[in-house]
Structure 1
């Protein structure tokens, strides 16, 4: 495992971090974590050098932090930098901030959270949090020893990112970034801007919800095959990120031991400025293949569910993307028909719009679900 300095904090962190948004679950129920399997995975990662663990109040239906409190027992809490997030969406008054923090400390079974982030900051949330006195709250929590460092995760445009970053002496920012998202949200410019300010940068969605590793068009495979050094699609995506010296940690939601072992192997070689010009050119070619094919900019983050009508929005959008990325209409239609329960299908959408209010990608979900219905039903 390689380690990097975490911005101006001076902390040394593993370049691979464990994201707890996609822990293994039982029977597909997001709030029913397979604790035995998940604990085995997380502790295996820590035993092999991972020392940054990312959580949030809302993950796994609010049960993710409770799980981590158990999983980091037996001395494992002392081995990691623990990050979690304050749910901006759920804060409705000034008092909520203290209430949520105290609840999170209890769930996580810890006296101090190493990195406390505002979750999913966008313009509307940012204005609300300022109104409720977020800066005073963070200073008070830090003085009380309840948090050590401050930060924010981000889902909005570049100008909003710079506004948030300049408003407070943050220690860390967490952005969505991969070789497809160079000009999306904070993007490369935001990454460089944060680095110049001395902030640690943590990356989420390095594989676009796994799509850059598992849904690889034939044209992209042929491009990867031209490389003298043979790498898996996942390795290309991670190496692209670790090539940036401004990036401290890349988060991965590892739910299978095979994924974890591969990522640990890749993390042994993730040095900054290590890609050749030819390798960068290959990545740029693959990027254009994906950009030309992807229909829906969905990363599978699941912020849009549960839907009041029971529609499984990420799965529906995933099947639609399969048609365009993999050029496989029949298989996508078959899976839609067989693997989704009747209430999960796109035809049940009543266009209430709740999903679009919380989608970090700004997807016009209602229109996309209409296309899913028309394509598959």
Structure 2
């Protein structure tokens, strides 16, 4: 098997450009299929993959990864990335409690890359600071129990850039792919973090497989008829690795075939590989996927900031996704990006002041379309979810 290429982290360590996302281990009888996961992890390891990403709340994932690394004696040859469930933190002691449990699950005495899981806004970070998170992280880094500290993020680029500046982070993790170039943290967030010296880890490079399995016919035809023959997954990964600001791309690999294909791509891809023609073809793919979009929003952000804190581009991105990728995907993204924040960014906040429409280059009837988006995205289930979040909110 070929070996993947590498890029450097903040301190000059080699990170494989392909990372192993451990959230999607295959399961049997409600438990991780440990033997199958072991075969796949070892295949990735032999292919040079040295970054393995898990989290406290991924059922069985940390324990499975820890067992596999221990019984194959490769713990010290790979980097473990896992995440603090800060949304469960009530006191300063809680940080230590969850961290100790994670070390036991992972069968290790240190974590290479430790993230604040789904850090949603600056207010959340301020709450953690009030509980002593900065001092706790610094103490853990000094002792070597945490080698590097970062955060993962879903949301708009403005808030992401603010979070980047809130602490001397060692790295960060964002959702990014050729469909999210101008939504979520987006290219702006990617470049902002990289300019600050932060390695950027990419999650959802295939949007949960939808950029492979749910492509419309026109998009499939564009790939199939292009002179250079590559799979849709291959194109999506190469688009990311074409950008020097991308350090490592996570893939939730749960078959040996997937591991082998991704390792092969990661052994060949390099910055600047895609030229103007390839980029134009991928833009046509985006247009084909978005053919059913309801709102012609480009995610430029000229309508922001909203006086009522509505995430207008994010709401329209989820609304369009409702018709291109399905209801569940759209509802999940909208909920993560609006309802999990300390201050809601939901469409329901709109008071129809019209300020946004004065600045929209696309001349979108934003107030009207927000009402339509609200009807599709913020129904009874969304409201129930908001109530549940408020019950468990610790601040």
Q: Tell me if TM exceeds 0.5.
A: yes
Is it true that 1:167 corresponds to 2:147 in the alignment? no
64-73 or 4-13, larger mean C-alpha shift: 4-13
TM-score, normalised on structure 2? Answer: 0.74
Partner of residue 61, structure 2: 64
Q: What is the alpha-carbon root mean square deviation over aligned residues?
A: 2.9
Residues 95-244 of structure 1 aligned to structure 2 (within 5 Å):
95-123=93-121, 124-244=123-243
- Equivalent position of 1:5 in the other structure: 7
**Retained in 1: the 8 A contact 2:113–2:148?**
yes
Show CA shifts across 1:229-284 (max 9, x none). 11111111000000011111000001122211211111111101110110000111
Q: Contact conserved, 1:46 with 1:79, CA < 8 A, in 2?
A: no
Deviations 1:22-52 (A, max 9, x none): 110115x3xx111111111111111111111
Change (3 A) 1:102 1:321: same
Residue 225 of structure 1 deviates from its aligned partner by: 2.6
Q: How does 1:250-261 map to 2 (within 5 A)?
A: 250-261=249-260
Q: TM-score, normalised by structure 1?
A: 0.78
Quote how far apart the aligned CAs of 1:160 are. Answer: 1.5
Q: What per-residue deviation string (whole Å, max 9, x for no partner) do you get for residues 182-236 of structure 1?
A: 1112110010011111111100000000000111111101211332111111111
Report the equivalent of 1:85.
83
Partner of 2:290: 291
- Structure 1 residues 43 and 91, CA, compared in 2 at 3 Å: closer, same or farther? same
Q: Is the CA contact (8 Å cut-off) linking 2:141 and 2:148 kept in structure 1?
A: yes
Residue 34 of structure 2: aligned partner: 35
Q: CA deviation at 1:11?
A: 0.7
Cα separation, partners in 2 of 1:132 and 1:52, compared to 1, 3 Å: same
Secondary structure, counterpart of 1:163 in structure 2: helix
Distance 1:357 1:48, change over 3 A: same
Distance 2:26 2:47 in 1: 19
CA distance in 2 between counterparts of 1:166 and 1:58 reads 27
Partner-residue secondary structure (3-state), 2:268: coil
SS of the residue corresponding to residue 202 of structure 1 reads strand
Correspondence for 2:268: 269
- Residue matched to 1:302: none
Checking the alignment, whether the CA contact within 8 Å between 2:339 and 2:345 is kept in structure 1 is no
Deviations 1:67-125 (A, max 9, x none): 11101112121221111110121112221111111111111111110011110111153
2: CA distance between counterparts of 1:114 and 1:265? 26
Number of residue equivalences: 319
The answer for the alignment partner of 2:277 in structure 1 is 278
Q: For residue 175 of structure 1, give the secondary structure of its aligned residue in structure 2.
A: strand
When residues 356 and 8 of structure 1 are mapped into structure 2, their CA distance, relative to the original with a 3 A threshold, is closer
Indicate which of 350, 367, 376 corresponds to 2:379.
367
Q: Whole-Å Cα distance in 2 between the matches of residues 235 and 368 of structure 1?
A: 39
Asked if structure 1 preserves the Cα contact closer than 8 Å seen for 2:177 and 2:207, the reply is yes
Change in 2 beyond 3 A, CA 1:52/1:133: same
2:351 alignment counterpart: none
Say whether 1:22 aligns with 2:19. Answer: no
The 4+ residue runs of structure 1 with deviation greater than 6 A are 320-323, 353-356, 359-364
Runs of at least 5 residues in structure 2 that lack an aligned partner in the other structure: 295-318, 347-373, 383-395
Match of 1:341 in 2: none
Whole-Å separation in 2 of the counterparts to 1:72 and 1:162: 35
How many angstroms apart in 2 are the aligned matches of 1:150 and 1:57? Answer: 16
- Sort the Cα spacing of 1:326 and 1:80 in 2 relative to 1 into closer, same or farther, 3 A: closer
Q: Partners in 1 of 2:102 and 2:266 — Cα distance? A: 30
- The answer to whether the Cα contact below 8 Å between 1:43 and 1:76 also exists between their aligned partners in 2 is no
Distance 1:190 1:368, change over 3 A: farther
Extract unaligned runs of 5+ from structure 1: 296-319, 337-345, 347-352, 371-377
8 Å CA contact retained: 1:4, 1:15: yes
